[in-house]
Structure 1
Amino acid sequence: MRNNKGRFDKTLWTANEVGEKIRWVQLSDERAEAEFVGKEIQKWLAAHHEFSFQDVAVFYRSHAQSRSLEEIFRRNRINYRIVGGVGFYERKEIKDALAYMRVLVNPDDSVSLLRIINVPARGLGKTTLDKVEQFANTRRLSFFAGLRKLLEEGATDVPPSAKKKLVEFVKMLDSFRDLATRSHVSEVYHHILEATGYVTELKAENSDEAQARVQNLEEFDTVIQFFEEDAKRRGLGPKDGLLQGFLNQVTLEVSLLNKEDETSNVGSVSMMTLHSSKGLEFPLVFLVGMEEGIFPSRQAIGGEEENSEGVEEERRLAYVGLTRAKQKLLLTNAQVRRIYGQVQVASASRFLAEIPHEFVEMEIQRPDTGARFGVRASWESEKATGYQSWKSKPAAATGPAKTAGGLTYEYDDGGSSSYKVQSTTVGDEGGSIAVGQKVRHAAYGLGTVKNLEGSTADRKVTIEFTGRVVKKFSLKHVQLDPA
């Protein structure tokens, strides 16, 4: 918290005995992160029989991050509950997207059709829809078949303006269905969101709730991308009924939704945003997604001039999360993460580096197998050499240097227990950043350094990213990787 300029100095203390160090684990991606959390919960409860699921909490910056965790928890029969929210597939925007897809596969799914016929709002009132439903019931047809038949017969009982909107709706669904027969699920999904203006309407609301819904839709795109990658490995394409296959997979996931047994004494793992964690404490706490652009969030980091107030508020939120753990605290970040279906290199959150090194124990896991690099270490900063020295625990690894998450890991082939980790993150102390250099930012992607200004102690860099987006950062706080 000393990094916040607008704070009052205070000295905090605890009457508790010295406990375990904070454990920071870097994993390959969000799937590996979720699997790690699930396994650690099971291991911890197996070793501590006095505790149950209700003594465990997982915190994240936004509810969109819960999806991969929910998937792993269901598979491993870990009871969980979403505090201050609902499960991923129970969220309105996800139900809406699935309803559109289900109607494309089965036009006679009247429940799904009625859900989305006026979403986003198309000006179709209850009176008009009641007339369509009455007509369909009289002819013993599904709602959509009745709607099509009604329009074929002229729809004389429907006002001209409403009739026009119904015709446009039917044409839109027909175009979606045609696309679904020859395109990948992700293409169909993107087209639905664009053609209906669903995301545009949410962004126009400019509210925190709308922003959270957009993030959920982005995460749903990640679900689709994972499905398509699996389908590709099995040699399946659009002509093999991918949309139906995807819906079958989601239906299976939903059917496995965790239902806590009220008679059970094991309780549920609490999953919640950091905002919801205020005032709560748990013996075991996980804080996931500790990456620039996620925590602190892209919005908090700000635009051309870094938003110091936004970052300071995020830092206060981080402090809240860190202090919710009674006995054990684990922090995780991913080396790469899918955002709106696209794989992006993720930089570790600045808040991780701000925790005093003597209180942190770090562990790196291999991106390919999930096995450890062999490093489980406590930090000792060696500013003079530009290295961070790592004193490993008993298991030592050997082999060539590995690069992951902006760090180069050097191994002692002689079996020594000492490791050195050299950061390849762009810094200015040694003049390693220059105008014209290509760099990569976790939230904004690839960019070119356009200007450097200020003293060495407070150096600022201006970068132009793809799409002519220009941002200015303080080199003390931003993490940039060489491109």
Structure 2
Amino acid sequence: YRVYGGLRFFERAEVKHAMAYLRLIANAHDDTALLRIINFPARGIGARSLEQLQEAARTENCSLWQSAINKVGNGKAGAKGLEGFVALIRELVDQAYGITLAEMTELATTLTGLKAHYQNEKEGEDRIANLEELVTAAVAFSNQDFGNHNNVNDDADILTQFLNHASLEAGEHQADAGREALQLMTVHAAKGLEFNAVFISGVEEGLFPHEQSTYENNGVEEERRLMYVAVTRARQRLYLSHAQSRMLHGQVRYGIPSRFLDEIPDSLTKRLNSKPAPKTYATGGVYQTSTSAQSNYPYKIGQSVRHAKFGEGVVVSYEGNADNLVIKINFGREGMKSLAMEYAKLEKI
């Protein structure tokens, strides 16, 4: 494949920063990783301090981490400069013991101050979203047998395997310019281009149109114009797809088809598959419900339902007990609704 109009995921600066912290958790003597984030976010370690640390490491013939320990010992939590950095890395390593890869990744984006740093940036929202997507990547990696396919050591721990996987995904699989390959691009990057066949994925409420657009003046209309751009890139065949459920920011999310699909005349479309019945249940975040508990509920997690007022939606979770049961449903353009089960009057689709 070939990616246009942007960096590959693991090449993005904010992702590289988080990965550097993960590399230090795996091996604190990784000088390259340490140099990348020793003063990011800024903690008062200037160029002169770094030069002195590097000189000491050369003199002592040791890693930068060992040189830092020789200078400040165990460090001091909350302190500025080298003391604070050493204390932070020690805390990261301590907290990472015995937790999942996804939890380690979350640790590397929060405890380190990366998310807090980007919250103060003008365009930090996208960077934070990428850090959250890194957690999703960690969940996906943990749930699949990557160890047998990506030239990593089967005996290595899951973090080391994930780091090796990220190194491979940082650019080794991209096709050279001019070679036949799948072309991947954003809708914005596709403007002015045309292809015989086009695939538009993620045509779901909350993704396309994006959930942020509903809070902006003419936001949905702008998304509709963008959808028009995407659709008109196809010369011969256009494929539109939406997922019944997807992993987003480390959690399973249930969605419904985009309103834009309803605006395409039925005479111009052909459904390639019937609507799938939900076969699995969510196991993450606020949508977690045990299989045994679900058997007592009238609707399964992921079940499509219809409400007289809010229209079609998808069941995402339950709250309360049998006497006071509340069902949470994603109604797409109508938003997430919490309805008392006793009065909901839902129809299965």
Same fold (TM over 0.5): yes
Does residue 222 of structure 1 match 2:109?
A: no
- Output the TM-score relative to the length of structure 2: 0.76
Match of 1:294 in 2: 207
Match of 2:256 in 1: 347
Check conservation: 2:14, 2:131, Cα contact below 8 A: yes
Tell me, in whole angstroms, the C-alpha distance in 2 between the residues paired with 1:272 and 1:481: 39
The 1:244/1:364 distance shift into structure 2, 3 A limit, reads: same
Does residue 251 of structure 1 match 2:170?
A: no
How much has 1:179 moved relative to structure 2? 2.1
SS at match of 1:119: coil
Tell me, in whole angstroms, the C-alpha distance in 2 between the residues paired with 1:356 and 1:215: 34
Tell me, in whole angstroms, the C-alpha distance in 2 between the residues paired with 1:272 and 1:353: 24
How much has 1:190 moved relative to structure 2? 1.4
Q: 2:89 aligns with which of 155, 165, 173?
A: 173
Tell me, in whole angstroms, the C-alpha distance in 2 between the residues paired with 1:404 and 1:352: 24
Does residue 88 of structure 1 match 2:6?
A: no
Q: 2:57 aligns with which of 126, 130, 136?
A: 136
Check conservation: 2:175, 2:181, Cα contact below 8 A: no
* Amino acid corresponding to residue 318 of structure 1 in structure 2: M
SS at match of 1:196: coil
How much has 1:182 moved relative to structure 2? 1.6
Match of 2:306 in 1: 425
Tell me, in whole angstroms, the C-alpha distance in 2 between the residues paired with 1:153 and 1:171: 6
* Amino acid corresponding to residue 319 of structure 1 in structure 2: Y
Tell me, in whole angstroms, the C-alpha distance in 1 between the residues paired with 2:12 and 2:310: 47
Tell me, in whole angstroms, the C-alpha distance in 1 between the residues paired with 2:139 and 2:164: 15
Does residue 447 of structure 1 match 2:337?
A: yes
How much has 1:363 moved relative to structure 2? 2.3
Tell me, in whole angstroms, the C-alpha distance in 2 between the residues paired with 1:117 and 1:283: 49
* Amino acid corresponding to residue 24 of structure 2 in structure 1: V
Tell me, in whole angstroms, the C-alpha distance in 2 between the residues paired with 1:121 and 1:321: 41
The 1:439/1:255 distance shift into structure 2, 3 A limit, reads: closer
Unpaired runs of 5+ residues, structure 2, are 149-155, 280-299, 314-324, 341-345
SS at match of 1:191: helix
Q: 2:39 aligns with which of 102, 105, 118?
A: 118
Check conservation: 1:439, 1:481, Cα contact below 8 A: no
Match of 1:311 in 2: 220
Tell me, in whole angstroms, the C-alpha distance in 2 between the residues paired with 1:97 and 1:150: 25
Match of 1:359 in 2: 268
Higher strand share goes to which structure?
Answer: 1
Residues paired across the two proteins, number: 303
1:12-411 equivalences under 5 Å are 79-80=1-2, 82-152=3-73, 164-207=80-123, 210-230=124-144, 241-254=157-170, 256-260=172-176, 266-302=179-215, 307=216, 309-364=218-273, 366=276
The 1:164/1:199 distance shift into structure 2, 3 A limit, reads: closer
SS at match of 1:273: coil
The 1:287/1:481 distance shift into structure 2, 3 A limit, reads: farther
SS at match of 1:121: coil
1:404-463, CA deviations, whole angstroms, 9 ceiling, x for partnerless residues?
9765xxxxxxxxxxxxxxxx3334399x9xxx974422779853259xxxxxxxxxxxxx
Match of 1:385 in 2: none
Structure with greater contact order relative to length (CA < 8 Å, sep ≥ 6): 1
* Amino acid corresponding to residue 118 of structure 1 in structure 2: N
How much has 1:295 moved relative to structure 2? 0.7
Tell me, in whole angstroms, the C-alpha distance in 2 between the residues paired with 1:217 and 1:153: 28
Unpaired runs of 5+ residues, structure 1, are 1-78, 155-161, 235-239, 370-402, 408-423, 451-479
Tell me, in whole angstroms, the C-alpha distance in 1 between the residues paired with 2:30 and 2:10: 18
Tell me, in whole angstroms, the C-alpha distance in 1 between the residues paired with 2:339 and 2:144: 38
Tell me, in whole angstroms, the C-alpha distance in 1 between the residues paired with 2:249 and 2:331: 14
Check conservation: 1:296, 1:314, Cα contact below 8 A: yes
Tell me, in whole angstroms, the C-alpha distance in 1 between the residues paired with 2:347 and 2:32: 49
Tell me, in whole angstroms, the C-alpha distance in 2 between the residues paired with 1:337 and 1:153: 42
How much has 1:127 moved relative to structure 2? 1.4
The 1:437/1:170 distance shift into structure 2, 3 A limit, reads: closer
1:11-43, CA deviations, whole angstroms, 9 ceiling, x for partnerless residues?
xxxxxxxxxxxxxxxxxxxxxxxxxxxxxxxxx
SS at match of 1:133: helix
* Larger CA Rg, structure 1 vs 2: 1
The 1:177/1:289 distance shift into structure 2, 3 A limit, reads: same
1:119-175, CA deviations, whole angstroms, 9 ceiling, x for partnerless residues?
222232111111111111121111111111122499xxxxxxx98421111111011
Q: Percent identity?
A: 34
